[in-house]
Structure 1
Amino acid sequence: MSCSGVLADNVSLSSAVAACTRLEEWDAGLVFHGLGAKLGFDGTAHISVSNSLIPFYSGCRDINAACNLFRRLICKDVVTWNAMIDGFASNGLILEAFDCLSEMQVTRHVCPDTVTILTILPLCAELNLSKEGKAIHGFTLKRALEFDLSIMNSLIDMYMKCNRVKEAEQVFRAMPETDLVTWNTVISGYSQSGCSGEAQALFKDLLHWCSRCSLSTMLGVAPSCNSPASLNFGRLLHGWLIKLGFINHMLVVSSLMFMYINCGDLITCFSLVWRYYAIMDTACWNAVIVGCAQNGYYSDSLRTFNLMRSETRVSHDSITLVSLISACGNLELLLEGQRSHGLAMKTLVDTDIRVQNALITMYGKLGEIRSAYSVFNFCNHRNLCSWNCMISALSQNNNANEALALFRSLDIEPDEITIASILSVCTQLGLTGFGKQIHGYALRFQFHTNSFVVAALVDSYSNSGRLERAATVFQHSSEKSVAAWNSMMSAYGFHSKGQEAINLFEEMNLSGTRPNKSTFISLLSACSHVGLVDEGIHYYDCMALKYGVQPVIEHHVCLVDLLGKSGKLSDAYEFIKHLKCEREPGLWGALLSACNYHGDVEMGRKVADILFDLDPENAGYYISLSNMYVAAGRWSDAVDFRSLVHDKRLKKPAGYSLVDVAFG
């Protein structure tokens, strides 16, 4: 190629190939490579051409061509090595990237530069390789690169993403100079690591320090508003976004919607939806649909999806459907779940492994094991999550033997979730010995510190009567998640140690772990087991006010059970009547059980009449009232209600023995 009779040289060829890479003009790049070879710049002798061709082939996903070119090159400089390392990394060949870095230093004695470090650190962050990241940190100090802002910012980002918050703070405090990117990185890191208070405090410090912030700052601090306690700060943030002119940016709108959902303010969230729905893209709709599903607002998640489908032409993606399917499972809407499955098949999203795993989980929750198995068998590229979902689905539906058989046929190395699921199966089957073996496996592979495994071990030992062993596992766990605390509280309640459960709850508060809905179910149940009425009422009353946890039906049932078992049947009755969900059969069922326990026939008949109206096909209520009449010596009334069960052709759910389950 020539221009005005002047032949191209290696510099112009390098520039041309680099331009093709930036513009993703792959065919043109191949032409330039061919031209270079024809003119003698074949890329093996001229380093500048090679340094352009390696990123070009890496960019068009022909990593083999890039690697062959790299290996044939006689002279390699640090730019060449950086290009190859980045090529491996961008094509997902992480181990090869690290091997290339090692060869560069050990074999070729080429010293990494700033570009090398800025290429490797994001890999450490992505793969949670804090040990390797720390080694690179040491290298930067040895080479006196701690004055390079870009490297220090990348180090902070790496430590934050590896959940090494203290190390990130140390880097931040030791920096002789910072810029807005530094502050944004720390604020965002705090938010993503669950350090909401620290993120908000640093945001205020930033405004005091320089009285300015960027869009990245606002998007970084917004996730810290993740509970009702953060709502006021979130509203202030909303005001700042309006003042700074960022409010019409779609990333900001979706971030605000997600924030308001997390803070429990759905009214403000949906006011934003109605204001911006005409210009919202898929990511923005997903923020609302996913946010509602993650926070338990499953009906709102479905309504938002229906609004998106009816009012806009925005198409859904796999993320949308995963949340939609999850909502259907949690709301026990089988028909809607099947429609979502059909929609996934129609739009070919059903081949996405995340959608397939969500379907397995949904069908498991709905008791549709055959459908769950159908999806599982349809998966062409099962991952470990697929196996975990199927094992969990079988376990949830009392198919413990099948779950155990599936675990034994697992052809992938199990992880913490697998171990937690199979421990639950062992608990169901009463397989104490096999449970101990699984515990040993967890110890050998360092899974025993995982919060899910700790919670499962506590449940397993507690249910087999070994409360002290359960407490030992819990106390020795270095990672105590809210699930582990909840399991230990449940264990104390199960063994009628209500005061110990209360003490543990207070210890949990002191540890800084935030209680959730399940925490209060465990705590209230423990109080109910031993009749700690005043304590139970106290914790029920302060759930929302002090801890930001809104009571749901399970909490109401726990309180009814607590009042009922302690003989306060009238108080329990009045409590239910004043609830907005007073027509929930579970509430009245708990009170009927208490009436049966105390032999209060009159109150029992009153409650049973309500239940006959709410759930007329449930034979259990008739049997329960009949048993009360028998205990009171009112045989005629008992016979009448037994006859009603026969006349209505109602069937009482059959019980089963643990021995039958275990040995079939």
Structure 2
Amino acid sequence: MKKLSNYAYKALLFCSSLPNKFSQHIPPFQFFSPNLSQKPLFPIHHFFITHGNTQVSGYTSPATHQLFDKMPQRRVQDFKNVEGHEIFELVNIVKENPDILTASQVHALVLKVGMLAHLPIITTLLIIYSRIKNLISSLVLFGEIIDKDVVTWNAIMTACIENNIFGYAVSIFAEMMNEGEQFDSATLVIVISALSNMRDLRKGLVVHCLSMKMGMLSDSILGNALIDFYAKCGNLSLSECVFLEIECKDVVSWNSVISGCLNNGRAEKSLLYFKQLAGLVKGGDTVSLSSAIAASACLDEFGCGQAIHGCVIKLGYEESCHLSVANSLISLYSQSGDIDAAEYIFDKMEYKDIITWNSMISGFALNGKIGEAFDDLHEMQFTRTIEPDAVTLISIIPLVAEFTLLREGKAIHGFTIRREMGAELPVMNALMDMYFNCTRAKDAENLFLNMSKKDLVSWNTIISGYSQNGRCREAQSLFKKFRSGISKCSLSTLLGILPACDSPNSVQFGKLIHSWEVKLGFVNNIILVNSLMYMYISCGDLVASFKLLEEIAYNADVVSWNTVISGCTQNGHFWEALNAFKLMRLKSNIHDTITLVNIISAYGNLELTYEGKSIHALALKTSAGQDIRVQNALITMYGKSSDVENARSGFELCFYHNLCSWNCMISTLAQNKNSKEAIELFRFLEFEPDEITMATVLSACRQLGIIRHGKQIHAHVIRSGFYKNAFVSAALVDMYSSCGRLDIAHQVFQSSEEISLAAWNSMISACGFHSNGQKAIDIFHEMIYSGLTPSKVTFINLLTACSHTGLVDQGFWYYNHMLDEFGVQPSTEHQVCVVDMLGRSGRLHEAYNFIKELPRPPDPGIWGALLSACNYHGDLQLGKEVANILFSLEPENVGYHLALSNIYVATGSWNEAGELRDIVHRKGLRKSAAYSIIDVGSS
């Protein structure tokens, strides 16, 4: 009795430490193991008492659901009276569908008639309390039992498992061995079930050894439990070994190994085992069939999946009646693109569970059927027995993100708040990603800051989101904070932060990421190496990028080469892109559509028409020549090379056009001063125009200076809703400014919902060309105050405005403070503006000294600006000196000869002017003819 009192006391003490709601996870064990002072029966006792690594999982395997009912039960002895039999039958009836009220009533009845000492009854009561999630009462009852048998011990361990207290179930098994109690194979099945949920491989190995020592492995149920256990612990080889050792395999054995292979990413093995099972007389059941269908979907073996569907029909497992099979078929047909077949199975089903709805919604999302996905979600909410769960939302949120449906995304966010799903980390992470995709970085940031718990995916999402939304400093700062607080860093973390290194100022941070990549052992990961190469190119360190490429040259795939080529092309390193392409052909002789598109773009930007034609020929020799992207790139290349005829031929010879084709051709005509033809082509457009079309046509109107055409396009922009686009607004400002209507340009600028940097630049330029330099300066400061960072173009426009309005001192100040105040490196274009500004104001020698003091040899364009100023002010001596410099730099440029000739004429040096004209005539130099346009009837 003393021992019993001590045990009951400890059980009650344990119960008092548990929380009220067992439906919630209990923290890793602070539980005690009763009677630890006794010497253990087996030497493994210390092994089971260690709870430090115990993991509590909310998932219970279907194999462990109501596990106790499937175990061998004790033989119930005859009762002395009929009342005993009736009470025992009543307790068993309550066990089938218990609730708190009936449990309390039947417990009181048992207590009243004095049958609480009867082992079968008290054991059944223990299970009843467990199933109504009142584990405390189960443990108290267990503590009151004096003579426990193996069934009682099995029952309390099962109760712990059903309430997700897996570690304590293992502790009870250790105590059972301490007390010298005999156990059976059913006990080991229960313990393996607990360890399976804990994913505790080491303790499971000990139980396996124990079962071998006791000669219990002949029990197929125990063997099946071990197959499932090893598979869940990720040790598929041991799982297969146990399967092979089972002499009498039943369908559960096959199901365990088939599903185990599938869950460990070995879908091909899963199908192989299923084919072996299908060859047996017994065949498969719903579990094996649904697993095989899922394996076919994973491997994209849709033909095999359809064959298994035929097997399903042949075996009589009708889809409408067997949930798991129907759910797998819905996923299979959704992934194969046959969404109609998936929907047919869904509509035919008599009963649908949450997995069914989620599979169908996910299928619609996968196939871009956004309307149907939302319709099913809406219909699902009106199904009484089923409510959307976290998986439902995770299926629909990526669709919202892909199509940037902010309104629907906010509605889903509201739904999660109403249903109190804020603790569901996958849902919160998906919502963050959605907000970033919808360019709502602030909303994503608020969501992140308000999350009570954050996992690695949360950090990866916000770091990647900041990087993709241009908030590079925030991404870098957050990464540093992440590294200081969390030691674990994944491949996704590194891939997410690398896009934040996109300028020379970030190269040191990029090198830090590179060092982390080496430290974490990702040095051979081709995806990360590709991202690193692109990062170095974006930061201007081409040497580091090409060094990485050289290290992987013989193992590089086409994506690696394309990464370098596209990175160089997009960052203006066109010659380097061409060199990488030559090396690519030399090392591997592989290329694809992406390669050709980028190389064609490089040739176009370099205006290498002849070489561009050779790539055109290469494209025609392969199937890539028929790709619409390559054809569009060729049109653009010929346009940039001023070869309008070949561009037009390429456009006309396309087998089919898309909107991009029309945009490329219209842009080509506009860039090559064929603005009237560009507008005519726009009138015959075969597609609904987009923002790019509108911006391009407005550029053509600006060149023509015909405001009535521009107004018509403006009206179309308003009707189409494109006025909200920042680039279209900037094009409208340019067009009205060039047509002399600064007032309308200013109205468009102020009415823009989102003012882009391009729009600010256009407005500064417009004020400058309309001789309102001070207004241009004011707008520049407004832009800085709004939080935007000025660009190279911003300062070109600002310096030009100062030049046109004589604001020399102000212009000089902005030039001198471009780098230190605004972070913009002065370039040749800015220096031309300064020379022009000094030249217009007559300060020619200051301009000359400015050029001489430049850190690098000046570009011909800079000397050309000074020569124009000398022409304007008639400074013959300086003009001759500057002209001689230009003749040595660009001897074939007729403009310089004519400028010097005009200076001679202005100063009365007719003989020198004549001699210079003769030189031009002998060399055959010609100046392009100018033209003027008058728009009759314009308004």
TM-score by length of 2: 0.67
The equivalent residue for 2:356 is: 80
Q: Deviations over 1:171-229 (max 9, x none)?
A: 21221211111111111111111111211221122123223322221221121122233
Larger C-alpha radius of gyration, 1 or 2?
2
CA distance in 1, matches of 2:665, 2:360: 41
Return 179-188 or 355-364, whichever deviates more: 355-364
- Aligned equivalents of 2:663 and 2:280: distance in 1? 67
Alignment check: 8 A CA contact 1:281 1:314 kept: no
> 2:480 aligns to what SS in structure 1?
helix
Match of 2:690 in 1: 415
Query: Which residue of 1 is the match for residue 774 of structure 2?
Result: 499
- What residue number does 2:918 align with? 643
Tell me, yes or no, if structure 1 residue 132 matches structure 2 residue 408. yes
The answer as to 2:536 corresponding to 1:260 is: yes
Matched, 1:172 2:448: yes
Match of 2:319 in 1: 43
Map residues 429-508 of structure 1 onto 2, 5 A cutoff. 429-508=704-783
Aligned to 2:621: 346
Does the Cα contact within 8 Å between 2:670 and 2:700 map onto a contact in 1?
yes
Question: Could you tell me which residue of structure 2 aligns to residue 400 of structure 1?
Answer: 675
Shift of 1:149: 0.8
Please list every run of 5 or more consecutive structure 1 residues that lacks an aligned counterpart in the other structure: none
Structure 1 counterpart of 2:592, from 291, 298, 317? 317
8 Å CA contact 1:122–1:154 kept in 2: the answer is yes
Question: Which 10-residue stretch deviates more, 197-206 or 99-108?
Answer: 99-108
The answer to whether the 8 Å contact 2:380/2:386 transfers is yes
Q: Does 1:149 align with 2:443?
A: no
Alpha-carbon distance in 2 for matches of 1:318, 1:335: 20
Question: Whose RCO is larger (CA < 8 A, sep 6+)?
Answer: 1
Does the alignment pair 1:30 with 2:306? yes
Deviations 1:350-396, CA, capped at 9 Å, x for gaps: 33333222222222121112222222233344332222221111111
Q: State the Cα distance separating 1:632 from its structure 2 match.
A: 0.7
1:70 to 333, 340, 346: 346
Q: Distance in 2 between matches of 1:662 and 1:541?
A: 47
Cα gap change, 1:519 to 1:299, in 2 (>3 Å): farther
Q: Are the aligned partners of 2:330 and 2:342 in contact in 1 as well (CA < 8 Å)?
A: yes
Letter paired with 1:644: I
Q: 1:438 to 1:340 in 2, by over 3 A?
A: same
Deviates most, 323-332 or 535-544: 535-544
Residues 261, 516 of structure 1: alpha-carbon distance in 2 compared, 3 angstrom cutoff = farther
Query: Could you tell which deviates more after superposition, 328-337 or 23-32?
Result: 23-32
What SS does the corresponding residue of 1:473 show, helix, strand or coil?
A: helix
1:275/1:5 CA distance change after superposition, 3 Å:
closer
Give, in angstroms, the shift of residue 604 of structure 1: 1.6
SS at 1:211's partner residue?
A: coil
- What's the C-alpha RMSD, in Å, of the aligned pairs? 2.5
Aligned residues: 662
Asked if residue 518 in structure 1 is aligned to residue 793 in structure 2, the reply is yes
Contact preservation (8 Å) 2:706, 2:935? no
CA–CA distance in 2 between the matches of 1:74 and 1:105?
18
The Cα offsets for residues 454-482 of structure 1, whole Å up to 9 and x where unpaired, read as: 11111111112222321222223232222
> Matched residues in 2 for 1:614 and 1:507: separation?
41
Q: How big is the shift at 1:523?
A: 1.9
Query: One-letter code of the match for 2:509?
Result: F
User: Equivalents in 2 of 1:254, 1:32: separation in Å?
Assistant: 40
Offset, 1:44: 3.4
Contact 2:799 2:811 in 1 (8 A): yes
Q: How does 1:83-98 map to 2 (within 5 A)?
A: 83-98=359-374
Is residue 368 of structure 1 aligned with residue 649 of structure 2? no
Say if 1:227 and 1:548, in contact at 8 Å, map to a contact too.
no
Secondary structure of 2:507's aligned partner: helix
Distance 2:437 2:526 in 1: 25
Q: 1:304 to 1:4 in 2, by over 3 A?
A: closer
Structure 2: segments with no counterpart, 5+ residues? 1-276
Correspondence 1:104 to 2:403: no
2:445 and 2:810 map into 1 onto residues whose CA distance is: 41
Opposite residue 287 of structure 2, the aligned amino acid is: V
Residue of structure 1 aligned with 2:328, choices 52, 77, 85 = 52
Q: Take 1:285 and 1:575, find their aligned partners in 2: how far apart are those partners? A: 43
Query: Which amino acid in structure 2 is aligned with residue 202 of structure 1?
Result: L
Question: Aligned ranges for residues 520-535 of structure 1 at < 5 Å?
Answer: 520-535=795-810
SS of 1:308's partner is helix
Q: Does the C-alpha gap of structure 1 residues 378 and 55 become closer, same or farther in structure 2, counting only changes over 3 Å?
A: farther
C-alpha contact (below 8 Å) 1:482/1:515 kept by paired residues: yes
The alignment partner of 1:40 has SS state of coil
Whether contact under 8 Å (1:619, 1:651) holds in the other structure is: yes
Deviation digits for residues 138-181 of structure 1 (CA, Å, limit 9, x no counterpart): 11122221111111111111111111112212221221211111
Match of 2:572 among 280, 296, 303: 296
Match of 2:519 among 240, 243, 247: 243
Cα 1:629–1:443 shift into 2, 3 Å: same
Whole-Å separation in 2 of the counterparts to 1:651 and 1:530:
33
3-state SS of 2:924 partner:
coil
Describe the SS at the equivalent of 2:758: helix
Scaled by the length of structure 1, what TM-score is found?
0.93
The alignment partner of 2:569 has SS state of: helix
CA distance in 2, matches of 1:511, 1:268: 37
State the Cα deviation string for residues 586-643 of structure 1 (Å, max 9, x = none).
Answer: 2332222111011011222222223333333333322222211111111222222223
* Cα deviation code 1:560-606 (max 9, x no counterpart): 32232233333434444565874743233222211101101122222
Equivalent pairs: percent with the same residue?
Answer: 55
Contact 2:554 2:588 in 1 (8 A): no
Deviations 1:429-487 (A, max 9, x none): 23212322322332333321211111111111111222232122222323222211111
Alpha carbons of structure 1 residues 662 and 646: separation in structure 2 relative to 1, 3 Å: farther
* C-alpha contact 1:429 1:662 (8 A) present in aligned 2: no
Q: 1:431 to 1:99 in 2, by over 3 A?
A: farther
CA deviation map 1:533-575 (0-9, x unaligned)? 3333333344445544444432332233223223333343444
- SS of the residue corresponding to residue 448 of structure 1 reads helix
Distance 1:296 1:214 in 2: 32
Mean CA deviation greater in 207-216 or 151-160: 207-216
Match of 1:330 among 586, 590, 605: 605
CA distance in structure 2 between the aligned counterparts of 1:651 and 1:586, rounded to whole angstroms: 19
How much has 1:114 moved relative to structure 2?
2.0
Once structures 1 and 2 are overlaid, which stretch shifts more, 472-481 or 626-635? 472-481
Q: Residue 2 of structure 1: CA displacement? A: 5.0
Query: Are the equivalent residues in 2 in contact too, given 1:128–1:162 (CA < 8 A)?
Result: yes
Separation in structure 2 between the aligned mates of residue 273 and residue 7 of structure 1, nearest angstrom: 53
How big is the shift at 1:108? 8.7
